[in-house]
């Protein structure tokens, strides 16, 4: 009998797989038969992968070099793209927007048209991006920009809405996921996001620093009552990237242990 999830023979590109959610995903993919994993990261993953391309997702030249290697003559097309690399607002807003939004968009748009039909793109967004309806006009204006330099300038010119960059970058990613669903369909692909609440990864202390312990602990306690593990989130990414999610497209899957549901149902007290 065929396993329900089988990545054997699929070419998989993952950004940000040195640590945290991305590293957990590499483990799960291996358990699911994956044998062609390409990692783009500033740090070389400890797990063995078929190809590591040192890439700074915040710099267009570095991203373009990675794209050229991925698409080198004779290389098979990509089946699955996981846009997972991300940084917190302990870094400047400009850097956060480059890595979390501009770089992700550049890589996606270069790979998508040549991906194998039947494949998928999955983004790691965040519940921090749930406020997108309040900025939709600005987000669409930013996402409409094709040039890297103009995107960087837009970020500099809109410091009021971009703020520290993190929430806005994830708002952009949630909207981008929905905007690209139709394009994905036209290529026989799907694009979705996973939106985690706090996850126990090397990035969590940075969120504690920028968002306060009080807010992070509140989201954890009012949700599942335990912090998510990297594997919890990697499972959601794996699902959306697999054929089990064959009719799911343009969805921002909230993976927050029930926090948002409880909040919307008025079952959670706001922190004092």
Ligand X SMILES: NC(=O)c1ccc[n+]([C@@H]2O[C@H](COP(=O)([O-])OP(=O)(O)OC[C@H]3O[C@@H](n4cnc5c(N)ncnc54)[C@H](O)[C@@H]3O)[C@@H](O)[C@H]2O)c1
Residue ranges binding ligand X (CB under 6 A) = 15-22, 41-43, 55-58, 84-87, 99, 124, 126, 196, 198-199, 201-204, 207, 230
Q: How far is the CB of 188 from ligand X (least distance, A)?
A: 26
Place of tokens 């950004």: 15
- Which residues are CB-neighbours of 180 under 8 A, at least 6 positions away? 108, 112, 121, 191, 250
Position of tokens 């070099």? 65
169's enclosing H/E stretch is helix 166-179
| Complex with ligand X: residue 60 or 86, whichever CB lies closer | 86
Judged by beta carbon, residue 42 or residue 118, the one nearer ligand X is 42
Question: Looking at beta carbons only, is 69 or 187 nearer to ligand X?
Answer: 69
Residue 94, class by beta-carbon neighbours within 10 Å (0-12 exposed, 13-18 middle, 19+ buried)? middle
Closer to ligand X by Cβ: residue 36 or 55: 55
Among residues 14, 40, 36, 33, the alpha carbon closest in space to that of 25 is found at 14
Could you tell me the smallest distance in angstroms from the CB atom of residue 186 to ligand X? 26
Query: What is the smallest separation between the CB atom of 59 and ligand X, expressed in angstroms?
Result: 8
In angstroms, give the least distance from the CB of 180 to ligand X.
Answer: 17
Shortest CB 176 distance to ligand X, Å: 13
Residues 28/231, Cβ–Cβ less than 8 Å: yes
DSSP state of 132: G
Nearer to ligand X, 55 or 138 (CB): 55
């Amino acid at each position: 009998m065929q396993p329900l999830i089988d990545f054997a023979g699929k070419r998989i590109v993952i950004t940000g797989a040195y640590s945290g959610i991305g590293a957990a995903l590499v483990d799960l993919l291996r358990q699911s038969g994956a044998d062609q994993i390409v990692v783009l990261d500033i740090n070389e993953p400890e797990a063995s992968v078929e190809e590591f391309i040192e890439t700074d997702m915040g710099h267009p030249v570095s991203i373009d070099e990675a794209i050229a290697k991925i698409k080198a003559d004779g290389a098979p097309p990509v089946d699955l793209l996981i846009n997972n690399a991300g940084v917190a607002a302990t870094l400047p807003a400009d850097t956060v927007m480059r890595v979390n939004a501009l770089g992700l968009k550049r890589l996606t748009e270069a790979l998508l048209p040549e991906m194998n039909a039947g494949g998928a793109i999955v983004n790691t967004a965040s519940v921090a991006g749930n406020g997108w309806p309040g900025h939709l006009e600005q987000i669409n204006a930013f996402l409409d920009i094709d040039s890297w330099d103009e995107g960087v300038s837009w970020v500099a010119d809109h410091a009021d809405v971009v703020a520290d960059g993190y929430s806005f970058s994830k708002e952009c990613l949630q909207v981008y996921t929905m905007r690209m669903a139709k394009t994905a369909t036209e290529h026989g692909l799907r694009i979705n996001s996973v939106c985690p609440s706090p996850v126990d990864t090397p990035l969590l202390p940075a969120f504690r620093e920028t968002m306060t312990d009080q807010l992070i602990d509140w989201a954890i306690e009012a949700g599942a009552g335990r912090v998510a593990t990297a594997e919890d989130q990697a499972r959601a990414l794996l699902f959306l990237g697999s054929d089990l999610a064959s009719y799911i497209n343009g969805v921002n899957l909230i993976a927050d242990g029930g926090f948002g549901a409880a909040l919307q149902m008025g079952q959670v007290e706001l922190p004092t």
